[in-house]
Amino acid sequence: MALDKRGFISASEVVVYVPILIIGVVLVLRHGFSKKAGWLYLVILSVMRIVGGVTHILSETTDKNNITLKVVYGICEGSGTSPLLLATMGFLQAAASGALDNHFITTKGVKLAGLVATVGLILAIMGGVKTGNASTESDLNEGVKLRRIGTALFVVVYAFDVLFNVLLWSERSRLLLNRRKFLTRITFALPFLSVRILYSVLSAFAPTEETIGANGKVTFFSSNSGLARFSQTSGDWALYLIMSVVAEFITVVIYAVTGMTTSLENDYAGSRTQDWDGPEEMARLKPAYEYAPYAPGQTYAPQPYAPQPYAPQPYSQ
């Protein structure tokens, strides 16, 4: 059996995410398995995209009526947003490390957002299983509802990531040198991540183009709703390719390249003053070094230090 357009897209995902998976493993080994690093989630996302692509291909080429393959593909497709958002959060947390470690956002905020993302992932998986194995109209509607709630929670986590990013930019002068560069590159990915999240929302709330009768028979129909173009199973393949696959892949590539080219390990070796952001910041920081040293036993009254011109003295025996 031949692949349709979505099948070819799934095959392309398998091809491109295999090297991303390898890069992700390398980055995990380099930076560690800490959730703060974010690289572990990049590996999880790559695995989900590869598994989802393979099961989609098998579904189209072997048995289109295989419920298990469809359920696995649907879960991987609908739940992949969670590790992507968690990876973004981990990268932002890494950028804040050493400067905003005790801030509410980087402590309680990150933990709460991570919990929300986890709950959203569980609901998305439950919704995918419920929808794929639905034998009644009630089961089908319940699965769709769970998926939509999970997607809504993903939007909450995305909003937190944007807020976290804004906070880091407002405190950029406090960040360590390489982490400033790291933040800049991660920020470049946010517009593409926004498009990916938008497609997830539109897809989750697209009308269900099937109904299950009292006898358990499934009937498919076409919807006139504009959101039908974003349906996970029968939507416009071009919109799916651009807004979902390509937008997500660009985001992941930016993250992978950033991880391969930005070193965070040596950020603590030097001072933040190694790369003052121009004359204004230099003027603000430099006066701290222009005072004469304090002598014990004297009344502390710092005076501006005025360097004396060097006057050579004649040498005498």
Residue 160 confidence (pLDDT): 94
Residue 276 confidence (pLDDT): 43
Residue 36 confidence (pLDDT): 57
Residue 273 confidence (pLDDT): 44
Decide: 76 and 124 in contact? Cβ < 8 Å: no
Distances (CA, A) of 254 to 39, 111, 149, 175: 13, 25, 29, 21
DSSP 216-266: S-EEE-----GGGGG-TTTS-HHHIIIIIIIHHHHHHHHHHHHHHH---TT
Per run of 10 residues, the mean pLDDT along the chain (length 317 residues) is 84 93 87 68 92 90 81 86 91 84 84 92 89 82 90 94 92 84 90 94 84 73 78 85 94 89 62 46 45 52 58 59
Residue 112 confidence (pLDDT): 93
The pTM assigned to this predicted structure is 0.78
Cα gap 79→214, rounded to integer Å = 30
Cα gap 157→283, rounded to integer Å = 39
Residue 305 confidence (pLDDT): 56
Q: Provide the 3-class DSSP secondary structure of residue 268.
A: coil
Residue 303 confidence (pLDDT): 57
Residue 261 confidence (pLDDT): 82
